[in-house]
Amino acid sequence: MKKDTVTVVDNASGRQIELPVKHPTQGPSVVDIGSFYRELGYFTYDPGFLSTASCQSSITYIDGEQGILQYRGYPIEQLATQSSFLEVTYLMLNGELPNPTQLDEFSGIINHHSMLNESLKSFFRGFYHDAHPMAIMVGVVGSLSAFYNDSTDITDPHHREVAAHRMIAKMPSIAAASFKHTIGEPQVYPGLSYTGNLLKMMFSVPCEEYHVDPVAERALDLIFILHIDHEQNASTSTVRLAGSSQANPFACIASGIAALWGPAHGGANEAVLNMLGEIGDVKNIPEYLARAKDKNDPFRLMGFGHRVYKNYDPRARIIREMCHEVLAKLGDNNDPMFELALRLEEIALNDDYFIKRKLYPNVDFYSGLIYRALGIPGNMFTVMFAIARTVGWVAQWMEMIGEENQRIGRPRQLYVGAGQRDYVPIDKR
Model confidence pLDDT, tens digit, residues 177-209: 999 999 999 999 887 899 999 999 999 998 999
Q: Mean of the pLDDT values across residues 53-77? A: 95
Assess whether 306 carries a catalytic annotation: yes
Instruction: Give the end of a domain, one of 202, 235, 259.
Output: 259
| Distance in angstroms (rounded) separating the CA atoms of residues 73 and 82 | 15
Helix axes 85-94, 214-227, angle to 10 degrees: 20
pLDDT at residue 273, as a whole number: 86
Do 32 and 112 lie in a common domain? no
Please give the mean pLDDT across all residues of the chain: 92
Q: What CATH number did the domain enclosing 153 receive?
A: 1.10.580.10
Letter string b/e over residues 195-229, b meaning 16 or more CB atoms within 10 A of that residue's CB: bbbbbbbbbbeeeeeeebeebbbbbbbbbbbbbbb
What is the distance between the terminal CA atoms of the chain, rounded to a whole angstrom?
A: 66
Within 333-421, strands assigned E span none
Contact 331/86 with Cβ under 8 angstroms?
A: no
Regarding pTM above 0.85, the answer is yes
In the prediction, which pLDDT does 16 show?
A: 94
> Is the Cβ–Cβ distance between 59 and 92 less than 8 Å?
yes
**Quick one: 36 and 139 in the same domain?**
no
102-111, Cβ contacts within 8 angstroms, sequence gap of 24 or more: 109/165, 109/169, 110/86, 110/165, 110/168, 110/169, 110/194, 111/169, 111/190
For residue 304, what are the β-bridge partners?
361
Is it the case that residue 1 has pLDDT exceeding 70? no
How far apart CA 344 and CA 385 sit, in angstroms, is 24
* Cα distance between residue 138 and residue 260, in whole Å: 10
| Confidence label for 300 from pLDDT (cuts 50, 70 and 90) | confident
- Tell me which DSSP letter residue 7 carries: E
CATH number of the domain that 28 lies in?
A: 2.20.28.60
At residue 199, what is the residue type?
A: L
Range of the structural domain that residue 26 is part of:
5-53
Coil, strand or helix at 2: coil
Give the side-chain half-sphere CA count within 13 A for 86.
21
Q: Which of the following is catalytic: 150, 306, 351, 427?
A: 306
Does some domain include residue 70? no
The CA distance from 90 to 95, in Å, is 8
Q: For residues 214 and 228, what is the distance between their CA atoms, to the nearest angstrom?
A: 21
Give the span between the Cα atoms of 383 and 419, in whole angstroms. 44
Q: How far is it, in rounded angstroms, from Cα 379 to Cα 179?
A: 9
Mark whether 49 and 187 lie in a shared domain. no
Residue 376 placed within a domain: no
Looking at the structure, tell me whether residues 120 and 9 fall in a common domain. Answer: no
Same domain? 106 vs 175: yes
Compute φ and ψ for 247, nearest 5 degrees. Answer: -65, 160
The rounded distance, in Å, linking the Cα atoms of 182 and 165 is 27
Question: pLDDT tens digit string along 101-132?
Answer: 999 999 999 999 999 999 988 889 899 988 99
For residue 364, pLDDT over 90 is answered with no
* Residue-wise pLDDT tens digits, 247-294: 999 999 999 999 999 888 888 888 888 899 899 989 999 999 999 999
- Write out pLDDT tens, residues 2-56: 789 999 999 999 999 999 999 999 999 999 999 999 999 999 999 999 899 999 9
| pLDDT value at residue 34 | 92
Where b means 16+ CB within 10 Å and e means fewer, 146-166 reads ebbeebbebeeeebbbbbbbb
One domain, residues 255 and 120: yes
Q: How confident is the model at residue 339 (pLDDT cuts 50, 70, 90)?
A: confident
Catalytic, 150? Answer no
Q: How many angstroms separate the CA atoms of 303 and 372, rounded?
A: 15
Q: Are residues 121 and 178 in the same domain?
A: yes
Q: How far apart are CA 365 and CA 375, in angstroms?
A: 16
Residue 297 lies in a domain: no
State phi, psi for 71 to the nearest 5 degrees.
Answer: -105, 120
SS3 label, residue 278:
helix
Number of domains composing the chain: 2
End residue of a domain, out of 234, 259, 284: 259
Q: Does 170 fall in a domain?
A: yes
Q: Which of 221, 229, 313, 364 does the annotation list as catalytic?
A: 364
